[in-house]
């Protein structure tokens, strides 16, 4: 018999098989939400050409890259939010927050006239 208990604070789980306990790290993201669509897609100023963010995974990867460039605190909060998305509602809120941040930092391009 295997019992699994999750700790939301430390993102770990305990698996018990018989009398043996094993600590396992819990995944940082929910891969089931990776394909959640962004409609309309976010077109972001990027080099060498604009970048289309069409899924939650693409947006999370973009924010992770921004974090590697040492972006300020709002990006860090957004990064943590994208990592913890578990439901459609959380995904919609995280995408909305990203859209607002991109507008504030003048990184969002209009999506109407851009060719694929």
Task: Report how far apart the first and last C-alpha atoms of the chain are (Å, whole number).
Answer: 52
- Entry pTM: 0.70
Could you read off the pLDDT of 73-103 as tens digits, one per residue? Answer: 899 999 999 999 999 999 999 999 999 999 9
Report the C-alpha gap between 100 and 106 in whole angstroms. Answer: 10
């Amino acid at each position: 018999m295997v019992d699994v208990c999750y700790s939301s604070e430390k993102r770990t789980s305990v698996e018990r098989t018989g009398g043996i306990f094993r600590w396992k790290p819990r995944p940082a993201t929910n891969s089931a939400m990776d394909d959640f669509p962004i409609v309309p897609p976010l077109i972001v100023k990027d080099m060498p050409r604009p970048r289309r963010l069409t899924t939650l995974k693409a947006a999370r990867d973009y924010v992770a890259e921004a974090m590697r460039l040492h972006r300020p605190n709002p990006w860090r909060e957004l990064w943590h939010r994208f990592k913890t998305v578990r439901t459609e509602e959380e995904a919609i809120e995280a995408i909305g927050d990203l859209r607002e941040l991109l507008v504030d930092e003048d990184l969002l391009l209009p999506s109407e006239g851009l060719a694929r």
